Amino acid sequence: MASPTPRQIEAAYAAARERYAALGVDTEQALARLRGVALSLHCWQGDDVTGFEAPERPLSGGIAATGNYPGKARTADELRRDLDQAYRLIPGRHRLNLHAIYAETGGRRVERNQLAPEHFAGWLAWAREQGHGIDFNPTCFSHPLADAGFTLASPDPAIRQFWIEHCIACRRIGEHFGRELGTPCITNIWIPDGFKDTPVDRLAPRQRLQESLDQILAVPIDPRYNRDAVESKLFGIGSESYVVGSHEFYLGYAVRRRVLLCLDSGHFHPTESIADKISAVLLALDELLLHISRGVRWDSDHVVTLNDETLAILQEVVRCDALERVHLGLDFFDASINRVAAWVIGARNVLRALLIALLEPTARLRAAEQASDYTTRLALLEELKGMPWQAVWDYHCLQQDVPVGAAYLDEIRAYEASELAARG
């Protein structure tokens, strides 16, 4: 697709810079802050959450990827090539979010509670070479010991112990990533535990989950290299009536244990925004993890678009002056479109929303609000909707040497023809 010339982009940016300066906004300062943000791209978009442990095993735990677009990654090397292509089309330097089922075991069967750093040596070498930090996740789904719908909250002590050991192993792997790459790994625990129908005893499963988490976190891990996070959910397939790890459970647990809380924008009621929760959580916790997704009627993990919800989330982070306290990750999987394009579209939309937020005259808006001048607040917020943020974004892409506008589709189509089509 045709894109404007560098001269046109620079001219449009110069005009936009003047427009924003009239509002008291320094576009160069906004771009400098944007360049310092690293999104954590989720590896599971590239292969529909299959992993390499047992790719023939059907997904479970409320996980579902729909669609059959050709070109799905089948090996770690293919997945890394796809990620390389995506990173080349996203401005900035970003991270990788890796699940435990993406271990490379040389064809040997390794139980999840026996996973060790050596099984991720290929990922570590790639991340070091490409300059990516790595975040990590235990995989507590798509496994025979998760088929009953319970893992860390299972009433079976043996099943519970298996998943406790798996999470401990994952924390050690995360610590290894952080130490070797020089940037802390966030190891995030999410489990699918819950009931399809209304339970009688809501307390006991949560008591078991709390005890399991206590055992996991009791193992000493250097916080300089690994940061622990816990992630809630409202409901899912097979747990429509009750989820053990609810928002209230994990909020209380994170505050008590001083671990990060993960808010996933697809894990709440479809009419509920996580944007309003950010300021409240930041009063209780030092740091916060966000998984930015797009739920449609339920946690369907659609590709992130530049919609009101995405913008509200990033505006709240900026308005709270919390960019250094909030870790931004993506979490969606769409098998109905080009999977590399899904990464690129979602990541660029999060970054565009962040730029729009950074281009607000926050101090001026806050001063009007504190003075009870709600007229000025409303007028400025409405005027901002028509400001030329796109010209600033195009200039950012030009400076970062990535395609401007939809021109990235040309590279994706070429990659599809040369790489993805050969996968059958």
* pLDDT higher than threshold 90 for residue 17: yes
pLDDT attached to residue 415: 97
pLDDT digits (tens, 9 = 90+) for 299-319: 778 999 999 999 999 999 999
Look-up: residue for tokens 């400098």?
32
- Is 290 a residue whose pLDDT tops 80? yes
Whether 30 is covered by a domain: the verdict is no
56 and 76 together in one domain = yes
- Rounded Cα distance between 405 and 396, Å, is 11
One domain for residues 270 and 315: yes
Q: Is residue 326 within a helix (H) or strand (E), and if so which, with residue range?
A: strand 326-330
Could you give the 3-state DSSP secondary structure of residue 198?
coil
Average pLDDT over residues 173-177: 98
63 is a domain residue: yes
What DSSP string runs through 347-365? HHHHHHHHHHHHTS-HHHH
Phi, psi values for residue 183, rounded to 5°: -145, 130
Q: What is the pLDDT of residues 356-368, one digit of tens each?
A: 999 999 999 999 9
> Could you say which of 357, 385, 402 is where a domain stops?
357
User: 301 and 257, same structural domain?
Assistant: yes
- Phi-psi group of 143: left, alpha or beta (phi > 0 → left; psi -120 to 50 → alpha; rest → beta): beta
d(CA 295, CA 361): 30
Asked if pLDDT for residue 282 goes beyond 80, the answer is yes
Q: Which residues pair with 155 in a beta bridge?
A: none
Q: Max Cα separation, the chain?
A: 67
Separation CA 214–CA 224 (nearest Å): 20
Task: Tell me the pLDDT of the chain averaged across its residues.
Answer: 96
Q: Answer yes or no: do 333 and 401 share one domain.
A: no
Judgement on whether residues 225 and 292 belong to the same structural domain of the protein: yes
How many domains, the chain? 2
265 and 403, same domain (yes or no): no
Structural domain boundaries, residue 152: 38-357
In a domain, 33, yes or no: no
pLDDT band at 1 (very low <50, low <70, confident <90, very high): low
What pLDDT, on the 0 to 100 scale, is given for residue 27?
98
* pLDDT attached to residue 140: 97
Distance between CA 26 and CA 329 in Å, rounded?
Answer: 26
User: Is there a single domain that holds both residue 278 and residue 393?
Assistant: no
- Do 389 and 363 have their domain in common? yes
Indicate whether 203 and 340 sit together in one domain: yes
Confidence at residue 54, expressed as pLDDT on a 0 to 100 scale: 78
Asked whether the beta carbons of 239 and 191 are under 8 A apart, the reply is no
Contact criterion met (CB below 8 Å) for 121 and 104: yes
Q: Both 195 and 330 in a single domain?
A: yes
Torsion sign across C-alpha atoms 99, 105, 107, 110: negative
Instruction: Give the CATH number of the domain where residue 234 resides.
Output: 3.20.20.150
Q: Is the predicted pLDDT of residue 63 greater than 80, yes or no?
A: no
Confidence of residue 160 (pLDDT cuts 50, 70, 90): very high
Which positions are catalytic? 190, 231, 233, 264, 267, 291, 299, 301, 331
Specify if 262 maps to a domain: yes
Backbone angles phi, psi at 280, to 5 degrees: -65, -45
The contacts of residue 27 (CB under 8 Å, 6+ apart) are 13, 16, 17, 20, 21, 359, 392
pLDDT in tens, 191-246: 999 999 999 999 999 999 999 999 999 999 999 999 999 999 988 888 999 999 99
Shared-domain flag, residues 352 and 373:
no
Do residue 58 and residue 89 come from a single domain? yes
| pLDDT bucket at 353, cuts 50 / 70 / 90 | very high
Per residue in 25-56, pLDDT (tens digit) is 999 999 999 999 999 999 999 999 999 987 77
